[in-house]
Amino acid sequence: MLKFLARRLVNYVILIVVATVGTYFLASKTLDPTARFQGRNPPVPQSTIEHTLNAYNINPKVSVFRRFGRWVDMLFHGSLGQTPFGNSVAHNMYNRMGVTLQLLIIGSILGAIVGVIAGVISAVKQYKATDNIIGGFSYLTLATPVFVVATILEIIAVQNNDAIGHRLFVYTGAFTPGLSGGFFTHFGDRVSHLILPTLSLTLFGLAAYSRYQRSAMLDVLGSEYIRTARAKGLTRRQALVKHGLRTALIPMSAWANCW
């Protein structure tokens, strides 16, 4: 077990290194950092441009290998550099990591709960209209690119906001800057910003979990211990919840950890 975990950890480290190096060199070759200085009136002196590019370690006249070496040195000293606006990249990432973690936790939990419920209902109603609707929605969601789902949700949010005359669904930022009011005002503002991104994560979680839970639930519906429980006087619902669902959740939990 320890060898397996160590091997997986080494694989992840190698993957991170390869992705980081590839992204850095690709960005260095394709992006033009001098573009933001062009077209200024009055023109920015070339000496100022060179000084700024060197300060940010993005001067294309310097070898990309030297720039990458300097960036790695900064990385080991706890710095990721600065943004074009002079802010710390590490500080910006730290602020965004909290919001991302919040979305992932809420979306994953809701997606798993709703997905398991949908999968159980789909298995119990096998080949019926409910099963077909849940299955069709799940396959459609999984087959749709994420940015398309986000665009659809944005359009729906705009239509609903126009219909009710109030910005109930907000799809930009984590909160409204400069908002005045008490705790409940700020709490409601945060919730309105969380609805759409959380919904998008929940939809994909629902689609994936429901398909696997349906398959796991179907495997136990015809088991002998379910029939034994029914023979002992339990209703169909009691047998499915107390015995079938508990057993079906075991492979579901293992799959979720891998997923």
Q: What is the dihedral of CA 66, 71, 77, 78, to 10 degrees?
A: 180
CA distance 5 to 96: 29
Cβ atoms of 221 and 248 within 8 Å: the answer is: no
**pLDDT, tens only, 177-201:** 777 777 777 777 777 788 888 888 8
Extended beta strands in the chain, E state: none
**pLDDT, tens only, 42-60:** 888 888 888 888 888 888 8
**pLDDT, tens only, 196-249:** 888 888 898 889 888 888 888 887 877 777 777 777 777 767 777 776 777 767
CA distance 77 to 205: 38
How many CA atoms lie less than 13 Å away from 37 in the CB half-sphere? 16
Cβ atoms of 218 and 123 within 8 Å: the answer is: yes
**pLDDT, tens only, 96-147:** 888 888 888 888 889 888 988 898 889 888 889 999 999 999 999 989 888 8
